[in-house]
């Protein structure tokens, strides 16, 4: 079987033969073919099985509206499910396989569903699987999911790259048929920046599929000449293989360009697809129209096809779908297909025309007033049964049937901003409604101008209107001559005869019966109809079925179609691969991370890193012989408390605040007072949200009378800065205060432990003795002449400093510190040891700064000054936030020192039931303290300040632990703070 159905003509390159396989069998097609046209040329009509009933199906269409011919394309990691064979461009070596069929396409075990169809009607799942509830998840759903469905995903990672891009233009033209080409020609010649996008690989739209002449030459040749002129116009960008998938606000459109889908493997450095964001000042939708079928019994057999598709396969691809074809139409366009096929020498058995009267087609058996009432052929059409005008029936043998129920303008994108399409009786179709995306107009068949002349005229007119808006001078040219056939249609939506199923939405297996059932059960509103029957909910979004379903409902209710209304379309116009949406944000690039200045040095030491916010920080640094993380962390804590530990704290937010009102400004944003802070000193600051909940904390130093340096937590570095800008610009617009983030400007290291001063004095040029640089001191220093900053602050509870140098010296600084610290056995500690030491000191951090806790909860209630106005001061005084029985920060340790407690445990009274009513609060952070030799934790306990010394249970259902604990002060270590003042 070698291209048995190939006929003459078409825009394929017969000199280039392409080998491909479908379900393991080899075929040959030509360059310019789609997978569907090549299979049809080889006599293959059966390409898939339907979603619900597993009915044998072939292509219904020749374009992106295809509901049936969905296949797996390619093999291995590149395998792609649900690819429409009608738009898959053929390439040499293409492998396609059918989906939703087992064991084979010709014998599908699940076609038993077809026999059970009387049970599987609309609402079947809702009605049948109501009870018992537990059965739904465990029994029904898995079975249904296996039986129903589309293609299967490969579980392998996609080896191709996807990209994102941005384009700015004056005018975006969507669709390169006669209307779009005419508009592009006008705008291109006028000098506007034009993007012309078309989903097809060949521009020209329907001109490629028709035999019309435009300006005295074949339509396809006119299109080629226009495309050639546009290609030579530098201000015009032609984008074929590019689908505009959505309209967004302010002239922004998204587009998917299938850069490499027509190749077996993308060229080196090229993405598979690119997701474009197109910024346009004006846009014209010239997306054409989609033909709709007429529903009749068994109208879904392979070989039954839209008449316009049959015509396209013959004219564009040189394929006769059947050796003997028939036509079923309610309008003149169906007659055109018969004429074109006859001219190509195809045997046209009959034209079944539902209309009475009018001229008979010459040379063809034209049966007026007749309807197709049934068809036969299990795996492909063999014959149709026709009810003739005189009431008799006749069986006509044919292997292809073209059905034409009229054409629907492709209004989809105009309704992306909720504009509802409007019905036009004269063409029996919905056209774009008012209130669509601002700046978008429509032309050609998409606007209801169905003839070639109408397309050229509206394309030109809309381009001129857009150009006038944009300020380009342009005037109308004489249009090339083209056909201007009027639409002559007598709507027929479904054939009323017959007891069997007549398909409306072939992809979701929705039939006329389902619409009737929805009507009978009062799901009459179009939105109910859609959801009850799943009409138009498949990957094709009902491009061929929606209007049919709505019209049938209108007929059943006796309402007009405009009174029945229509559902609207949402983006995307056609399915978009997840890879295109992800672009390059995959794997490591999904969320970039930042490296600290000492990262390189830490990596050399074999440090273990952890993601903290956007940063990678050292978690711990294992030494030889340490086999568990706890050994490393315990050692780092003990070494720090014994001599010196150094930690990179660059990740903390740093904000320089300057101006004559800097102190007053800090009084506004911090709950405590800063205007009284002496120059050269630091203070711990507590920042509230306006609702009185703690927002952030950190130390802020006064470097000069009008100069402060604020630190924030790592997590809130960005949001605190945003908040300060808000306070400065919006709330107090005339305060003299300037701020700048210096988080990236300074490499900052904490040097903690009893020998910290001894180490730092070796490298700092100034005197930093306790007298010269007391506890909470701050100042500018030099390190061998290099400018730096020194703060005597402590998070660990030890004598500690934070020393900062310009970031580019960060790597040198850590090396210098470690060299100078060698004589003190200085070590570097990571975030785990940092956590242990801060919990030993009772300092709050992430687990306690949880966005729900007040200063009072944290035991810091006295810090909120009521002598001045600050953010959150007033609302922190609300009664409910100041109850004595509210949560208070407490320390927790197991009564049995060898016992283990877990973060997230809830406090329960001994002897009380373990239930919500008895819940006393929860443990926020827990560590093992090598200093105390047992687990310790912080937690929020109701009235916790009155429960110090009490024994309670810490219960955790997740870790299944229930530990007897003692409530203690949160300050486990050196509660008087003697060490840090040393």
Partner 1 sequence: MIINHPILGPRDAQEFVYLGDANLMGRPDGMTAGIEAFHDYLYNRDNPAGAHRELWYHEQGDRSWLVVTRNTVTHEILKVEMARDVARAGGRSK
882 binds partner 1 (CB under 8 A): no
Q: Which of the stretches 265-273, 385-393, 553-561, 724-732 binds partner 1 when contact is defined by CB under 8 A?
A: 724-732
| CA pair distance 165, 81, nearest whole angstrom | 25
Binding mask 639-678 for partner 1 (x = CB under 8 A): ----------------------------------------
Examine residue 425 and tell whether it contacts partner 1 (CB under 8 A). no
Can you tell me the distance from the alpha carbon of 222 to that of 220, in angstroms, rounded to the nearest whole number? 5
141 part of the interface to partner 1, by CB under 8 A:
no
Interface pattern 35-54 for partner 1 (x via CB under 8 A) = --------------------
| Structure tokens, 733 | 């617009």
Size of the site for partner 1 (CB under 8 A): 28
The reply on whether position 420 binds partner 1 by CB under 8 A is no
Region from 52-60, 236-244, 249-257, 308-316 binding partner 1, contact rule CB under 8 A? 249-257
**Beta carbon nearer to partner 1, 437 or 788:** 437
Binding residue for partner 1 (CB under 8 A) from 56, 58, 151, 251? 251
Can residue 716 be called a binding residue for partner 1 (CB under 8 A)? no
- Between CA 651 and CA 648 the distance in angstroms is 8
Q: How far is CA 151 from CA 93, 145, 389, 408, 726, in A?
A: 21, 12, 44, 28, 51
Q: Please identify, using beta-carbon distances, which residue of 126 and 166 lies nearer to partner 1.
A: 166
Burial of 556 (0-12, 13-18, 19+ CB in 10 A): middle
Cα-based distances in Å from 207 to 204, 221, 225: 5, 9, 12
Residue 851 interacts with partner 1 (CB under 8 A)? no
Question: Pairing state of beta strands 682-688 and 503-505?
Answer: unpaired
Q: Is 971 helix (H, G, I), strand (E, B) or coil?
A: coil
Among positions 869, 896, 962, 978, the unique one binding partner 1 when judged by CB under 8 A: 869
Which one among 2, 103, 155, 249 touches partner 1, defined by CB under 8 A?
249
Distance CA 541, CA 594 (A): 43
Helix (H) / strand (E) containing 758: helix 756-763
Paired tokens of 584:
């390059």
Select the span of 322-330, 791-799, 867-875, 971-979 touching partner 1 (CB under 8 A).
867-875
Least Cβ distance, residue 248 to partner 1 (angstroms) = 8
* Cα 486 from Cα 450, distance rounded (Å): 8
Cα 533 from Cα 518, distance rounded (Å): 7
* Minimum gap (Å) between residue 657 Cβ and partner 1: 14
Interacting residue with partner 1 among 25, 146, 570, 722 (CB under 8 A): 722
Binding segment (CB under 8 A) for partner 1, from list 50-58, 144-152, 721-729, 802-810: 721-729
Task: Give the binding range for partner 1 (CB under 8 A) out of 299-307, 490-498, 745-753, 863-871.
Answer: 863-871
Asked if 878 is part of the footprint of partner 1 (rule: CB under 8 A), the reply reads yes
Nearer to partner 1, 242 or 870 (CB): 870
Nearer to partner 1, 868 or 950 (CB): 868
Nearest residue (CB) to partner 1, 250 versus 951: 250
Q: How far apart are CA 910 and CA 933, in angstroms?
A: 25
- Locate tokens 């006769």: which residue? 320
Please pick, from the candidates 75, 104, 128, 729, the single residue that binds partner 1 as defined by CB under 8 A: 729
Instruction: Return the closest-CA partner of residue 438 out of 459, 456, 417, 422.
Output: 417
Nearest-approach distance from CB 686 to partner 1, in angstroms: 16
* Enclosing H/E stretch for 760: helix 756-763
Pick one of 868, 950, 971, 981: the residue that binds partner 1 (CB under 8 A).
868
Among positions 447-466, residues that touch partner 1 (CB under 8 A) are none
Q: CA 113, 118, 119, 125: dihedral to nearest 10 degrees?
A: 90
CA–CA gap between residue 643 and residue 796 (Å, rounded): 13
CB atoms within 10 A of CB 258: 21
Q: Both tokens of residue 264? A: 């077996």
* Shortest distance, position 725 Cβ to partner 1, whole Å: 5
Cβ proximity to partner 1, 479 vs 875, nearer residue: 875
Instruction: State in angstroms the smallest separation of the CB of 250 from partner 1.
Output: 4
Q: How far is the CB of 79 from partner 1 (least distance, A)?
A: 33
Which member of 726, 769, 772, 957 binds partner 1 (CB under 8 A)? Answer: 726
877 binds partner 1 (CB under 8 A): yes
| Structural contact between residues 497 and 371, judged by C-beta atoms closer than 8 angstroms | yes
487: nearest Cα among 454, 520, 512: 454
Look at residues 723, 929, 945, 736 and name the one whose alpha carbon lies nearest to residue 837.
929
**Cβ distance 151 to 72 under 8 Å?**
yes
Rounded-to-integer distance, Cα 251 and Cα 934, Å: 63
Say whether residue 167 binds partner 1 (CB under 8 A): no
To partner 1, the closest distance from the beta carbon of 57 in angstroms equals 41
> Of 158, 469, 691, 974, which one interacts with partner 1 (CB under 8 A)?
691
- The nearest distance, CB 866 to partner 1, in angstroms, is 9
Distance CA 623, CA 57 (A): 66
- 744 sits near partner 1 (criterion: CB under 8 A): no
Place of tokens 């079925």: 545
As measured in angstroms, the least distance from the Cβ of 879 to partner 1 is: 9
Decide if residue 252 touches partner 1 (CB under 8 A).
yes
Residues 102, 129, 201, 248: which binds partner 1 (CB under 8 A)? 248
Instruction: Tell which one of 102, 125, 201, 732 touches partner 1 (CB under 8 A).
Output: 732
Cα gap 972→929, rounded to integer Å: 9
Q: Where are the beta strands (DSSP E) in 259-365?
A: 273-285, 289-291, 304-306, 324-329, 347-353
Judged by CB under 8 A, does residue 883 bind partner 1? Answer: no
Q: How far apart are CA 639 and CA 953, in angstroms?
A: 33
570 counts as binding partner 1 under rule CB under 8 A: no
Do 508 and 53 contact (CB within 8 A), yes or no?
no
736 touches partner 1 (CB under 8 A) = no
Q: Which two tokens stand for residue 594?
A: 């930042």
Among 733, 784, 785, 913, binds partner 1 (CB under 8 A): 733
Give the CA distances from residue 485 to residues 211, 364, 448, in Å, rounded to whole numbers and listed in that order. Answer: 14, 21, 13
Q: Name which position in 217, 874, 895, 912 contacts partner 1 (CB under 8 A).
A: 874
690 binds partner 1 (CB under 8 A): yes
**Pick 508 or 712: Cβ nearer partner 1:** 712
Closest distance to partner 1 from the beta carbon of 877 (Å): 7
Tell me: does residue 250 bind partner 1 (CB under 8 A).
Answer: yes
Question: Is residue 438 near partner 1 by the rule CB under 8 A?
Answer: yes
Task: Please give the backbone phi and psi of residue 964, each rounded to the nearest 5 degrees, phi first.
Answer: -75, 125
Of residues 208 and 254, the one with the C-beta less far from partner 1: 254
CA atoms within 13 A on the CB side of 11: 22
Separation CA 855–CA 466 (nearest Å): 60
* Shorter beta-carbon distance to partner 1: residue 281 or 424: 281
* Per-residue tokens: 898: 């060898």
Smaller CB separation from partner 1, 438 or 476:
438
393 belongs to the binding site for partner 1 (CB under 8 A): no
Helix (H, G, I), strand (E, B) or coil at 649: coil
Contacting partner 1 within 255-284 (CB under 8 A): 279
What distance in Å separates the CA atoms of residue 119 and residue 129, rounded to the nearest whole number?
A: 12
Rg (CA), the chain: 38
What are the residues binding partner 1 (CB under 8 A)?
A: 248-252, 279, 417, 438, 690-691, 718, 722, 725-726, 729-734, 868-870, 873-875, 877-878
């Amino acid at each position: 079987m070698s291209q048995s159905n190939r006929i003459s003509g078409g825009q394929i390159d017969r000199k280039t033969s392409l080998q491909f396989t479908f379900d393991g069998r080899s075929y040959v097609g030509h360059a310019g073919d789609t997978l569907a046209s090549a299979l049809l040329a080889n006599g293959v009509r059966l390409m898939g099985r339907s979603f619900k009933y597993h009915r044998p199906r072939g292509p219904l269409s020749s374009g992106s509206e295809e509901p049936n011919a969905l296949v797996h394309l390619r093999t291995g990691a590149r395998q792609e499910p649900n690819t429409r064979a009608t738009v898959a461009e053929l390439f040499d070596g293409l492998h396609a396989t059918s989906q939703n069929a087992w064991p084979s396409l010709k014998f599908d075990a699940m076609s038993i569903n077809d026999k059970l169809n009387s049970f599987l009607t609309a609402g079947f799942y809702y009605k049948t699987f109501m009870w018992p509830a537990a059965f739904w998840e465990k029994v029904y759903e898995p079975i249904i999911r296996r039986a129903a469905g589309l293609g299967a995903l490969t579980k392998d990672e996609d080896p191709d790259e996807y990209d994102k891009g941005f384009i700015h233009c004056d005018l975006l033209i969507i669709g390169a048929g006669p209307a779009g080409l005419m508009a592009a020609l006008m705008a291109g010649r006028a000098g506007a920046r034009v993007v012309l996008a078309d989903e097809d690989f060949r521009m020209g739209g329907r001109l490629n599929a028709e035999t019309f002449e435009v300006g005295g030459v074949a339509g396809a040749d006119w299109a080629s000449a226009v495309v050639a002129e546009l290609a030579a116009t530098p201000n015009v960008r032609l984008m074929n293989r590019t689908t505009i998938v959505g309209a967004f606000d302010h002239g922004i459109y998204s587009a998917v360009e299938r850069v490499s889908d027509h190749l077996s493997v993308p060229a080196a450095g090229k993405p598979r697809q690119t997701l474009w964001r197109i910024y346009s000042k004006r846009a014209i939708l010239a997306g054409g129209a989609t033909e709709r079928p007429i529903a009749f019994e068994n109208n879904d057999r392979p070989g039954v096809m839209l008449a316009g598709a049959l015509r396209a396969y013959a004219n564009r691809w040189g394929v006769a779908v059947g050796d003997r074809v028939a036509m079923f139409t309610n309008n003149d366009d169906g007659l055109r297909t018969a004429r074109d096929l006859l001219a190509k020498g195809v045997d046209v058995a009959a034209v079944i025309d539902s209309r009475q009267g009018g001229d008979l087609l010459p040379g063809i058996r034209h049966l007026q007033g007749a309807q197709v009432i049934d068809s036969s052929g299990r795996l492909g059409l063999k014959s149709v049964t026709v009810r003739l005008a005189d009431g008799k029936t006749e069986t006509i043998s044919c292997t292809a049937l073209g059905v034409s129920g009229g054409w629907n303008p492709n209004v989809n994108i105009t309704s992306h901003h909720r504009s509802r399409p409007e019905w036009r009786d004269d063409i029996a179709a919905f056209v774009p409604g008012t209130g669509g995306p601002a700046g978008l107009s429509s032309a050609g068949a998409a606007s209801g101008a169905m003839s070639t002349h109408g397309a050229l005229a509206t394309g030109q007119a809309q381009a001129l209107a857009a150009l006038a808006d944009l300020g380009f001078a342009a005037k109308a040219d004489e249009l090339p001559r083209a056909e201007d056939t009027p639409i002559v249609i007598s709507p027929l939506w479904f054939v009323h005869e017959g007891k069997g199923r007549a398909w409306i939405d072939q992809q979701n297996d929705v039939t006329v019966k389902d619409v009737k059932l929805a009507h009978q059960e009062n799901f009459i509103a179009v939105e109910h109809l859609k959801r009850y029957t799943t009409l138009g909910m498949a990957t094709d979004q009902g491009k061929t079925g929606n209007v049919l379903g709505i019209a049938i409902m209108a007929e059943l209710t006796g309402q007009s179609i405009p009174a029945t209304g229509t559902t609207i379309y949402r983006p995307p116009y056609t399915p978009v691969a997840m890879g295109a949406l992800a672009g390059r944000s995959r794997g490591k690039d999904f969320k970039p991370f930042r490296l600290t200045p000492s990262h390189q040095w830490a990596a050399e030491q074999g440090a273990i890193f952890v993601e903290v916010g956007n940063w990678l920080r050292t978690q711990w640094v294992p030494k030889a012989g340490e086999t568990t993380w706890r050994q490393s962390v315990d050692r780092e804590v003990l070494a720090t408390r014994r001599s010196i530990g150094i930690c990179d704290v660059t990740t903390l937010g740093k904000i320089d605040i300057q101006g004559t009102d800097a102190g007053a400004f800090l009084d506004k944003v911090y709950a405590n007072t800063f205007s009284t802070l002496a120059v050269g000193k630091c203070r711990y600051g507590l920042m509230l949200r306006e609702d009185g909940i703690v927002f952030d904390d950190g130390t802020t130093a006064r470097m000069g009378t009008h100069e402060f340096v604020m630190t924030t937590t790592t997590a809130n570095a960005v949001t605190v800065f945003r908040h300060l800008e808000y306070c400065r610009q919006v709330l107090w617009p005339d305060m003299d205060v300037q701020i700048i983030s210096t988080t990236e400007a300074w490499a900052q290291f904490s040097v903690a432990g009893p020998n910290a001063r001894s180490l730092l004095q070796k490298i700092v040029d100034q005197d930093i003795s306790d007298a010269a640089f007391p506890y909470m001191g701050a100042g500018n220093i030099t390190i061998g002449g290099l400018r730096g900053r020194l703060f005597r602050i402590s998070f660990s509870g030890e004598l500690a400093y934070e020393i900062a140098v310009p970031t580019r010296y960060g790597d040198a600084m850590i090396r210098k510190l470690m060299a100078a610290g060698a004589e003190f056995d200085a070590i570097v500690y990571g975030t785990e040891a940092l956590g242990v030491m801060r919990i030993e000191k009772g300092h709050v951090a992430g687990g306690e700064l949880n966005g729900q806790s007040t200063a009072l909860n944290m035991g810091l209630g006295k810090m909120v000054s009521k002598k001045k106005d600050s953010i959150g001061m007033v609302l922190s005084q609300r009664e409910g936030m100041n109850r004595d029985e509210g949560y208070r920060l407490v320390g927790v340790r197991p009564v049995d020192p060898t016992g283990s407690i877990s973060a997230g445990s809830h406090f329960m009274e001994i002897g009380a039931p373990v239930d919500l009513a008895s819940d006393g609060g929860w443990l926020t952070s827990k560590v093992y303290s090598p200093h105390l030799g047992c687990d310790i934790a912080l937690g929020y306990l109701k009235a916790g300040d009155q429960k110090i010394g009490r024994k309670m249970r810490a219960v955790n259902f997740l870790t299944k632990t229930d530990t007897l604990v003692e409530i203690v002060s949160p300050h486990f270590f050196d509660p008087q703070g003697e060490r840090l003042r040393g």
